[in-house]
Amino acid sequence: MLPISNRGSLMPESPIRKLAPLAEAAKQKGLTVYHLNIGQPDIATPEAMIKAVKDNISPVIEYSHSAGNDSYRRKLVSYYAKHSINIQHSDIIITTGASEAILFSFLGCLDVGDEVIIPEPFYANYYAFAVVAGIKVIPVSSSITDGFCLPAIEEIEAKITSRTKAILICNPNNPTGYLYSEQELKQLEELVIKYNLYLFADEAYREFCYGGKHFSALQFNEAAQHVILVDSISKRYSACGLRLGAIVTKNKLVIDTIMKFAQARLSPPYYAQVAAEAAIDLPDDYFVVTKAEYKNRRDVLVQRLNAMQDVYCPNPGGAFYAMAKLPIDDCDKFCAWLLNEFSHNNTTVMLAPGTGFYGTAGMGKQEVRFAYVLNTEATNAAMDCLEAALKVYPGRR
Tell whether residue 32 is a contact of a second copy (CB under 8 A): no
Of the pair 120, 149, the CB lying nearest a second copy is at 120
Q: Are 105 and 247 in contact (CB under 8 A)?
A: yes
Tell which residue, 24, 34, 83, 69, has the closest CA to residue 383: 34
CB of 51 to a second copy, least distance (A): 10
CB of 147 to a second copy, least distance (A): 28
**Residues that contact a second copy, how many (by CB under 8 A):** 76
Length of the chain as a residue count: 397
CA distance 66 to 266: 5
Tell which residue, 216, 238, 236, has the closest CA to residue 227: 216
Span of 50-58, 205-213, 294-302, 356-364 interacting with a second copy by CB under 8 A: 50-58
Tell whether residue 289 is a contact of a second copy (CB under 8 A): no
Tell whether residue 100 is a contact of a second copy (CB under 8 A): yes
User: Exactly one of 116, 170, 242, 324 binds a second copy (CB under 8 A); which one?
Assistant: 242
Tell whether residue 74 is a contact of a second copy (CB under 8 A): no
User: Exactly one of 37, 174, 251, 348 binds a second copy (CB under 8 A); which one?
Assistant: 251
Span of 81-89, 99-107, 154-162, 201-209 interacting with a second copy by CB under 8 A: 99-107
Of the pair 38, 280, the CB lying nearest a second copy is at 38
Q: Which of residues 193-222 bind a second copy (CB under 8 A)?
A: 196-198
Q: Is 355 exposed, middle or buried (0-12, 13-18, 19+ CB in 10 A)?
A: buried
Q: Are 163 and 115 in contact (CB under 8 A)?
A: yes
Contact partners, residue 250, CB within 8 Å, separation at least 6: 87, 91, 218, 224, 225, 227
User: Exactly one of 93, 205, 236, 260 binds a second copy (CB under 8 A); which one?
Assistant: 260
Of the pair 181, 376, the CB lying nearest a second copy is at 376
Of the pair 1, 154, the CB lying nearest a second copy is at 1
Tell whether residue 375 is a contact of a second copy (CB under 8 A): no
Helices 285-306, 376-392: axis angle to 10 degrees equals 20
CB of 375 to a second copy, least distance (A): 13
The CA-atom distances, in angstroms, between 366 and each of 45, 310, 352, 355 are 34, 11, 12, 8
**Which of 236-272 are b and which e, b meaning 16 or more Cβ less than 10 Å from the residue's Cβ?**
bbbbbebbbbbbbbbbeebbeebbebbeeeebbbbeb
Of the pair 70, 281, the CB lying nearest a second copy is at 70
Span of 146-154, 235-243, 285-293, 294-302 interacting with a second copy by CB under 8 A: 235-243
Of the pair 96, 171, the CB lying nearest a second copy is at 96
Q: Does a cis peptide bond (omega within 30 degrees of 0) precede residue 139? A: no
Contact partners, residue 216, CB within 8 Å, separation at least 6: 83, 84, 85, 201, 203, 206, 229
CA distance 204 to 206: 6
Of the pair 198, 320, the CB lying nearest a second copy is at 198
Tell whether residue 263 is a contact of a second copy (CB under 8 A): yes
Q: Are 92 and 246 in contact (CB under 8 A)?
A: yes
Tell whether residue 107 is a contact of a second copy (CB under 8 A): yes
Q: Which of residues 151-180 bind a second copy (CB under 8 A)?
A: none
Of the pair 241, 394, the CB lying nearest a second copy is at 241
Tell whether residue 272 is a contact of a second copy (CB under 8 A): yes
Helices (H), the chain: 6-10, 20-28, 47-55, 70-82, 97-109, 124-133, 153-158, 182-194, 252-264, 270-279, 285-306, 331-340, 376-392
User: Exactly one of 48, 132, 224, 308 binds a second copy (CB under 8 A); which one?
Assistant: 132
Span of 2-10, 29-37, 142-150, 349-357 interacting with a second copy by CB under 8 A: 2-10
Tell whether residue 114 is a contact of a second copy (CB under 8 A): yes
Span of 155-163, 233-241, 341-349, 380-388 interacting with a second copy by CB under 8 A: 233-241
The amino acid that residue 388 corresponds to is: A
R_g over Cα of the chain:
21
Site string for a second copy, 9-28 (x = CB under 8 A): x-xxxx--x-----------
Tell whether residue 129 is a contact of a second copy (CB under 8 A): yes
